[in-house]
Amino acid sequence: MGLFSIVGNSFGCSASGERLVSAARDGDFQEAKALLEYNPRLARYSTFGGRNSPLHFAAARGHHGIVSLLIESGVDINLRNYHGQTALMQACQYGHWEVVQTLMIFQANIHKTDYLNGGTAIHFAALNGHARCIRLLLTDYVPGAAKFWDFMQNVSVKDELCIGDHDLRNLIDVVNHKADGGITALHMAALNGHVECIQLLLDVGASVSEVTVEDGTTIDLIGAGSTPLHYAACGGNAVCCQILIARGACITAKNSSGLTPFMVAQIWHRNWLEEILCSPSQVPAQISPSPYLCLPLMSIMSIARERGWRTTGGDVSPCMDPCAVCLEASCTVAAEGCHHELCTRCALYLCTTNNTPSVAPGPPGAIPCPLCRTPVVSFTMIAIASPVRSLPKRSLSLTLCATCPSVSSDPPSMASAHLCRSESQCSSSSLRSSSCHPSMVLNLNPVFCMGVPETSPCISRCSRPGASLRRTTSQLDNGRRSWPFAFNQITAAASS
């Protein structure tokens, strides 16, 4: 492979390879596509020196369309550059969550470690404060179980680490993976003051008592045997210290140099931490769950992998209501609980981007349904049925004609309430929950309502009798930051 790639780079495809690298870096999708159609093997090209592939460049610059194009052209998704970094690490370093999402759909390996520091993609995301990327990286480990958060709060080492079929040992191992020097993702987030990452990491099982070790290679300015609280004390962020203490960090823990977190704070002139690190009564006893905890992500990701997630627009039959969020694609998933239907892409986007605190009656980590605000902990796949399906005439006219005249003038929420009422009056189950579907409400038009109750169906948009309204169911080579760089920043900040 080595010789082949050198020969390939030198003679065969170096010019085209460099063009592909430029296209990947600059986000020129058409150029990248044309080059790959001309020669799909160009996807495996790598630059001299840094050995960055086009995939690395596209990932580091956040061009997720090109990332999926390259993966579909057959490039190894876990390809490493000279420093052992994968495209996933680079996307996490720069916080390009759409790239991370794409790489996770294609099942990139989150366990790879880089050659410089032994850090995983989670370390890169935590170091730079990208909670959304951490959430995506843990997609396959955080189950959509309503009691997940409560369980994780009360878990102890000797407990059975299972919720239903999900063994949480793997999650805890992944989150507490140690890079060189015993540094965990929580250490990195604590040092750099990334509150959102700390909250999320603690919710998914990060340990506040992991300590760093002397390994002879890592430059550790804080000292071996340091907990995340020592690191937070050095970093100087008061909220980080408070959260760690509230979640059980010990303020009297000493590292191998005999320093407590308070002493570390003094050395680094973090005087404002004195109260927090000396008298725990200053710290609120209860810390609320991270708004980045997202329980339905596992279910929607597995649906996206199985059935695809792209929508081209116009893939909806004229007789079917489209996804109520994008109004483009047909519905492919249903929220568990309220049964509202969405397309996979919108549900995935919702799970990835939502960072509102959980709604009161729902469990922490549930996200609100975009249509009715019901807390959702998982999505289920719905059968793709024939777009035209006969519905009983009676139930159709009953449900819709009763409401059509009022719909056009009502605001959506009111209209929705009307439909819900008529649904509950109607004994037929054929229009169940989707009767309350806002998109349907908005599409209703009195002009199309030609039905007389019990004689002919009322039709919205599609005027065929019996037609179904809806189914019911460059930074790469010179901007690289490494752990010591983070320390440099701290040092600079402390000395200024």
Position among 161, 204, 346, 440 found at the interface with Zn ion (CB under 5 A): 346
Position among 213, 338, 381, 388 found at the interface with Zn ion (CB under 5 A): 338
Interface with Zn ion, residue 333, by CB under 5 A: no
CB-wise, 245 or 325, nearer to Zn ion? Answer: 325
Q: Is 130 left (phi over 0), alpha (psi -120 to 50) or beta?
A: beta
Single out the segment in contact with Zn ion by CB under 5 A; choices: 117-125, 327-335, 417-425, 470-478: 327-335
CB-wise, 142 or 372, nearer to Zn ion? Answer: 372
Number of residues forming the site for Zn ion (CB under 5 A): 12
CB-wise, 247 or 437, nearer to Zn ion? Answer: 437
Residue 315 CA to chain centroid, in angstroms? 26
Give the shortest CB-391-to-Zn ion separation in angstroms: 21
Give the shortest CB-436-to-Zn ion separation in angstroms: 8
Interface with Zn ion, residue 325, by CB under 5 A: yes
Single out the segment in contact with Zn ion by CB under 5 A; choices: 155-163, 288-296, 373-381, 391-399: 373-381
Give the shortest CB-59-to-Zn ion separation in angstroms: 25
Using alpha carbons, list the distances in angstroms from residue 131 to 120, 135, 137, 198, 283: 15, 6, 10, 9, 23
Single out the segment in contact with Zn ion by CB under 5 A; choices: 46-54, 227-235, 289-297, 342-350: 342-350
User: CA–CA separation, 396 vs 430, rounded Å?
Assistant: 9
Interface with Zn ion, residue 326, by CB under 5 A: yes
Interface with Zn ion, residue 191, by CB under 5 A: no
CB-wise, 85 or 433, nearer to Zn ion? Answer: 433
CB-wise, 340 or 470, nearer to Zn ion? Answer: 340
CB-wise, 236 or 438, nearer to Zn ion? Answer: 438
CB-wise, 140 or 328, nearer to Zn ion? Answer: 328
Interface with Zn ion, residue 359, by CB under 5 A: no
Using alpha carbons, list the distances in angstroms from residue 51 to 15, 72, 85, 250, 363: 16, 21, 10, 44, 46
Interface with Zn ion, residue 369, by CB under 5 A: yes
Position among 161, 204, 323, 444 found at the interface with Zn ion (CB under 5 A): 323
CB-wise, 234 or 329, nearer to Zn ion? Answer: 329
HSE-CB of 81 using CA atoms within 13 angstroms: 25
Give the shortest CB-361-to-Zn ion separation in angstroms: 14
Interface with Zn ion, residue 371, by CB under 5 A: yes
Interface with Zn ion, residue 192, by CB under 5 A: no
Binding mask 414-453 for Zn ion (x = CB under 5 A): ----------------------------------------
- HEC secondary structure over the chain: CHHHHHHHHHHHCHHHHHHHHHHHHHCCHHHHHHHHHHCHHHHHCCCCCCCCCHHHHHHHHCCHHHHHHHHHCCCCCCCCCCCCCCHHHHHHHHCCHHHHHHHHHCCCCCCCCCCCCCCCHHHHHHHHCCHHHHHHHCCCCCCCCCCHHHHHHHCCCCCCCEECCEECHHHHHHHCCCCHHHCCHHHHHHHCCCHHHHHHHHHCCCCCCCCCCCCCCCCCCCCCCCCHHHHHHHHCCHHHHHHHHHCCCCCCCCCCCCCCHHHHHHHCCCHHHHHHHHCHHHCCCCCCCCCCCCCCHHHHHHHHHHHCCCCCCCCCCCCCCECCCCCCCECCEEECCCCCEECHHHHHHHHHHCCCCCCCCCCCCCEECCCCCCEECCEEECCCCCCCCCCCHHHHHHHHHCCHHHHCCCCHHHHHHHHHHHHHHCCCCCCCHHHHCHHHHHHCCHHHCCCCCCCCCCCCCCCCCCCCCCCCCCHHHHCCCCHHHHHHHHHHHHHC
Give the shortest CB-344-to-Zn ion separation in angstroms: 8
Position among 227, 354, 374, 399 found at the interface with Zn ion (CB under 5 A): 374
For tokens 């003038």, name the residue.
409
Sign (positive or negative) of CA dihedral 280, 285, 291, 295: positive
Single out the segment in contact with Zn ion by CB under 5 A; choices: 116-124, 185-193, 291-299, 315-323: 315-323
CB-wise, 200 or 348, nearer to Zn ion? Answer: 348
Interface with Zn ion, residue 340, by CB under 5 A: yes
Give the shortest CB-336-to-Zn ion separation in angstroms: 10
Single out the segment in contact with Zn ion by CB under 5 A; choices: 40-48, 171-179, 344-352, 467-475: 344-352
For tokens 């019990």, name the residue.
454
Interface with Zn ion, residue 238, by CB under 5 A: no
Position among 67, 103, 343, 426 found at the interface with Zn ion (CB under 5 A): 343
Single out the segment in contact with Zn ion by CB under 5 A; choices: 110-118, 119-127, 369-377, 407-415: 369-377
Footprint (CB under 5 A) of Zn ion, residues 45-84: none
Give the shortest CB-289-to-Zn ion separation in angstroms: 21
Interface with Zn ion, residue 324, by CB under 5 A: no
Residues that bind Zn ion (CB under 5 A): 323, 325-326, 329, 338, 340, 343, 346, 369, 371-372, 374
